[in-house]
Amino acid sequence: MIDAKPAAERSAGGLLSLDATLPPRITARADFLAAARARSVRMPGFLLQARRRDDPGPLRVGFTCSKKVGNAVARNRAKRRLREIARLELPALGRPGWDYVLVGKRDATASRDFAQMRADLAAALRKVHP
């Protein structure tokens, strides 16, 4: 028998939370390049790039990992971790009208303690928005 519930409702042990969703994504290369020219904050597990857009729409977020991070498996693991900390922290600490890009770092993004990565993102956002 096939379970008709959405994946989030049938998650193992209730690990998935339904209270926070990932903000809209940055997909255009020009937006990534504009964020790279704007403010950046280096943290042990990632680099946060942030820029204020001209339009007052909702905040947007993008993720990137170069091949320096590792093979495809390592890059995808790093991006999954970045997506999760963004899902948990950006709705509360991000600002509308801003673009945020999280760039994975070699070895650090995939291996750093998750709670510390969340704290790093919160600290980076406080540096961007004093």
Domains of the chain: 22-128 (3.30.230.10)
pLDDT score recorded for residue 63: 96
pLDDT score recorded for residue 19: 58
Per-residue pLDDT of the chain (130 residues; tens, 9 = 90+): 444 444 444 334 444 455 568 889 999 999 999 999 999 999 999 999 999 999 889 999 999 999 999 999 999 999 999 999 999 999 999 999 999 999 999 989 989 999 999 999 999 999 999 8
Local structure of 82: helix, strand or coil: helix
pTM equals: 0.82
Strands (E), the chain: 39-42, 46-52, 60-64, 98-104
pLDDT score recorded for residue 107: 85
| Whether the Cβ atoms of residue 23 and residue 61 lie closer than 8 Å to each other | yes
Going by C-alpha positions, the residue among 75, 62, 57, 51 that lies closest to residue 28 is: 62
